[in-house]
Structure 1
Amino acid sequence: MRYRQFVTVRNIYAGSVEPPSVAESSTQFRALYLARFAEGFGFITLITLLPAYINQLDPSGVSVLGLTISAGLVVGLYTTGFTLAQTVAVIPLAWGGDRFDKRSVLLAVLGAGVLVYAAFPFVDSSASFIAVRALQGIAVTGAGLMTLSLVGQLASAETRGNHIGKANAASFAASIVGGMSAGGIYDAVGFGPVFAIIVVIMGLAWLVVYHFLEPDETRIEGFPFSDLAVNRRIVTLSTFRLQYAFAVTLVRTWIPIFAGVAAAQGGLGYGGGLAVALTVTSEKFTNMCCQPFTGRLSDSHGRALFVFAGGAAYGLVALIVPFSPAIGAALGLPGEVVIFGDVSPAFVPLVCLSALLGVADSFREPASMALFADEGTEDGGVASSFGIRELVWRPGSVIAPLLGGWLMYEVSMASVFYVGSAFALTGAGTFLAVLVWLHGPRALTAW
């Protein structure tokens, strides 16, 4: 079943349809890139400041109806409350974006984001922090869904990967700037100014979207999720994405843990936060730089090929991460680096491997997103298509941290990366097998 799309065509002159000018289209894309940056900046800032909130709010003193809740459960809720709110919000937000004006939905969630971030400095208990974090989850999810949906809808099929790559690059830029600056600003002047900066950025994004983004006049009747959920291409992609979510969550979460925890726990024991920050940032930096280029390549050479190659490469690089100490020792690298202080010979190899993970993932991400956008645009319901993509990721993002913690303490630190690598490689292999089975051997380059 194809959903009926009702579109009122603008820019009609003398009976002929005139498409938006290149400058007008570029302005709309830039407005969406700014919104993507604002969403990413707020998200990463809260992640960076989470330890400070744990120290300030004392999660060990929480009780409900006279029963004391363990500190570990409360700290878990600091993140789980955010994730659960995201999960619950996906379907209604995606449906609303398809049924109504995506621009209006985006403005609503950006406006909500301004209010949410303005509320964080007034948080004075674990319960209020969990509640505001849940509201943040809704705002982050809505902004991410609507920006990507609108980018995918505005772009032509021939340029979709490139534009999605640029949107993702804006989000990674926010992660780098926010991650590197939030801690220093907090140390110098406290919570208030940090959130004031976020509010200004979110407010600026709201104004730019309001003034420069044209209303979305596409309307999708019905409930597109029902048909898109059994769309053969989306099902094929989901066989990869479901497994790959475990891989990325394990590897991205445990790279900084591997770098920072004590050697007695299997880590490298970097004492300086700057060394850990560089290790994490190197992955985001290469991903940011490569995605516009790799997205453009996927537009020309087949998106499915890039999903497969990027996923397999990610698994192979993750497999090497535990060997970074041996690589550093074999190369005779120093255990102390200027600025970063006393690290270990594994420091440079780990930073390089993290950067390679970013390169590998940059091949996969814009191609995967463009494929979901292709199906949503073709079948009706681009926001719903991205909503399904988001939901397929959720099991891995929730379960993988629990699995990683168990592996780290019960098996070894290295086993976390071996298991993460296995998920990426089996995901790529399953994707290739299902792709050939359902769509033929030429589908790898034809999609």
Structure 2
Amino acid sequence: MNKERLQFWSLYLARFAEGFGFVTLITLLPYYINTLEPTDTTILGLTIGAGLIVGLYATGFTFAQTLAVVPVAWAGDRFDKRTVLLVILGIGIVVYALFPIVDSSASFIAIRGLQGIVVTGTGLMTLSLVGQLADAGTRANYIGKANAASFAASIIGSLSAGTLYEAFGFGHIFSIIVGIVLVAWAGTVVYLEPDETRIHGFPFTGLALNRRILTLSSFRFQYAFSVTLVRTWVPIFAGVSAAEGGLAYGGLAVALTVVAEKFTNMCCQPFTGRLSDSYGRAVFVFAGGAAYGLIALAVPFSPAIGTVLGFPAELSVVLPAAMASATLPAWLPLETVPAQLTLFGNVSPAFLPLVALSGLLGIADSFREPASMALFADEGTDDGGVASSFGIRELIWRPGSVIAPLLGGWLMYEVSMASVFYIGGAFALTGVTSFLVILMWFHGSDALSEW
């Protein structure tokens, strides 16, 4: 394996560590809600409702991400990106080791904030280095592979989080995360070469006025509200109690709703990234965003879809006696083996449609994500400051990712669970509409196929 490929693989490993830690906490959110039992709280005479506290479980993470973007991106362009990545991964080892001490909503929100800095820094540096190492004609493909590594971690993290939580509680999960981040840190030390590019000044200023970045921003600003609401609330919808509008599924069932999106996204991104390298990027951004919005609108109808289609309320696998007698050791009496093994227990007919819709969300987003990232990498590489270009991309996302969880928490408690997905889908559809109008108005009628 040549040195260049080893560098890409070390970056994929860091992306894997980032994705594993991120999705584990997403999967565990409904259980932290049930364990910490947020209630109305009064601080300095101001009453904070339980819904807003639930929103802060996610917003504490995203607010810290927002604060970290500019200094981390600037440091990546001004200094050695490899060194910056190593520092951030080292901080991540400490942060994940702190999660087992969480005993209140306040401590959870604070440590989630530190996690936000780690996830943002790792993502910015790995994507910047991938975009910088790859040629323009293969950039979306390599970015798609990097994202696939993150999604692979998401799948493993979701499944292990759900099953380990039910078996051991929270503690063992974070020991695994610490070990994975430590391996990623070591891989970066050994295989990633120092980055010799140095950008003086403040590249954000020039890139913020880049016409293509401004056009993409018209979509991305609104789309952030959509993805944050939908991606955060699919597992919440699956896991919280029926009294709060959820389906009250167990850990493995909740994990499957998360894994379905990650798996389809992981499988498709290298392929869709290669297509966007060949056929243009803007049309993939438009098509993926529109499909995501339409699918999000359908999520609240999963119970009705399951009922109409007659899906089962319990998922089991039948173990025939002949198979059991052929495969089991002779010392184990056959009568001790159940004829039917329950996989997920009582779930309700909504389970299979919800998993299917989650998978479709992943397919839709796989068309949008590598194309969007490659456009930002193209502009950053051409104008100088690829880390700053990805930093601008992150900043555009931040208002939605900070505000949307608060909005979702309020909608969940004050309106309905379904309203979270209606609003999320609407944001995606208004985003692609404004993107198409601005693209054609300012860049010509052929821009959708030429970008």
Q: Distance in 2 between matches of 1:258 and 1:54?
A: 12
Q: Distance in 1 between matches of 2:48 and 2:354?
A: 38
Q: Match of 1:219?
A: 198
Q: How many residue pairs are counted as aligned between the two chains?
A: 425
**Is the CA contact (8 Å cut-off) linking 2:23 and 2:154 kept in structure 1?**
yes
Cα deviation code 1:7-34 (max 9, x no counterpart): xxxxxxxxxxxxxxx8222111110000
Q: Match of 2:136?
A: 157
Three-state SS of the structure 1 residue aligned to 2:312 is coil
Q: Distance in 2 between matches of 1:124 and 1:324?
A: 35
Structural mapping, 1:77-92, within 5 Å: 77-92=56-71
Taking structure 1 as reference, are residues 170 and 234 closer, same or farther at Cα in structure 2, changes over 3 Å only?
same
Q: How far 1:358 moved relative to its partner? A: 0.6
TM-score when scaled to structure 1? 0.86
Q: Distance in 2 between matches of 1:296 and 1:224?
A: 29
Q: Match of 1:180?
A: 159
Cα deviation code 1:352-376 (max 9, x no counterpart): 1111111000000111011111111
Q: Aligned letter for 1:312?
A: A
Report sequence identity in percent.
75
2:80 corresponds, among 101, 108, 115, to: 101
Q: Match of 1:3?
A: none
Cα deviation code 1:22-50 (max 9, x no counterpart): 82221111100000011121222334445
Q: Match of 2:9?
A: 30
Taking structure 1 as reference, are residues 326 and 375 closer, same or farther at Cα in structure 2, changes over 3 Å only?
same
Q: How far 1:124 moved relative to its partner? A: 5.9
Q: Match of 1:205?
A: 184
Taking structure 1 as reference, are residues 407 and 196 closer, same or farther at Cα in structure 2, changes over 3 Å only?
closer
Taking structure 1 as reference, are residues 349 and 215 closer, same or farther at Cα in structure 2, changes over 3 Å only?
same
1:236 is the counterpart of 2:240: no
1:321 is the counterpart of 2:299: yes
Taking structure 1 as reference, are residues 217 and 293 closer, same or farther at Cα in structure 2, changes over 3 Å only?
same
Cα deviation code 1:278-310 (max 9, x no counterpart): 122211110111111111111111011100010
Moved more, 404-413 or 427-436: 404-413
Q: Match of 1:402?
A: 406
Q: How far 1:63 moved relative to its partner? A: 9.5
1:171 is the counterpart of 2:150: yes
**Is the CA contact (8 Å cut-off) linking 2:136 and 2:378 kept in structure 1?**
yes
Taking structure 1 as reference, are residues 431 and 330 closer, same or farther at Cα in structure 2, changes over 3 Å only?
same
Three-state SS of the structure 2 residue aligned to 1:341 is strand
**Is the CA contact (8 Å cut-off) linking 1:48 and 1:182 kept in structure 2?**
yes
1:286 is the counterpart of 2:264: yes
Q: Match of 1:341?
A: 345
1:299 corresponds, among 267, 277, 285, to: 277
Taking structure 1 as reference, are residues 418 and 134 closer, same or farther at Cα in structure 2, changes over 3 Å only?
closer
Q: How far 1:115 moved relative to its partner? A: 2.2
Q: Distance in 2 between matches of 1:173 and 1:84?
A: 26
Q: Distance in 2 between matches of 1:243 and 1:44?
A: 22
Three-state SS of the structure 2 residue aligned to 1:288 is helix
**Is the CA contact (8 Å cut-off) linking 1:408 and 1:416 kept in structure 2?**
yes
Three-state SS of the structure 2 residue aligned to 1:345 is coil
Taking structure 1 as reference, are residues 55 and 249 closer, same or farther at Cα in structure 2, changes over 3 Å only?
closer
**Is the CA contact (8 Å cut-off) linking 2:59 and 2:403 kept in structure 1?**
no
Q: Distance in 2 between matches of 1:421 and 1:57?
A: 30
Q: Match of 2:255?
A: 277
- Structure 2: which 5+ residue stretches go unaligned? 317-342
Q: How far 1:169 moved relative to its partner? A: 1.1
Moved more, 77-86 or 26-35: 77-86
1:193 is the counterpart of 2:172: yes
Q: Aligned letter for 2:447?
A: A
Q: Aligned letter for 1:274?
A: L
Q: Distance in 1 between matches of 2:385 and 2:23?
A: 29
Q: Match of 1:255?
A: 234
Q: Aligned letter for 1:254?
A: W
**Is the CA contact (8 Å cut-off) linking 1:62 and 1:126 kept in structure 2?**
no
1:332 is the counterpart of 2:310: yes
Q: How far 1:416 moved relative to its partner? A: 2.6
- Structure 1: which 5+ residue stretches go unaligned? 1-21
Taking structure 1 as reference, are residues 412 and 385 closer, same or farther at Cα in structure 2, changes over 3 Å only?
same
Q: Aligned letter for 1:383?
A: A
1:424 corresponds, among 421, 428, 434, to: 428
Q: Match of 2:324?
A: none
Q: Aligned letter for 2:143?
A: I
Cα deviation code 1:35-72 (max 9, x no counterpart): 00111212223344456666777877999899998777
Q: Aligned letter for 1:371?
A: L
Taking structure 1 as reference, are residues 425 and 58 closer, same or farther at Cα in structure 2, changes over 3 Å only?
closer
**Is the CA contact (8 Å cut-off) linking 1:258 and 1:413 kept in structure 2?**
yes
Query: What root-mean-square deviation, in Å, do the aligned CA atoms of Structure 1 and Structure 2 show?
Result: 2.8
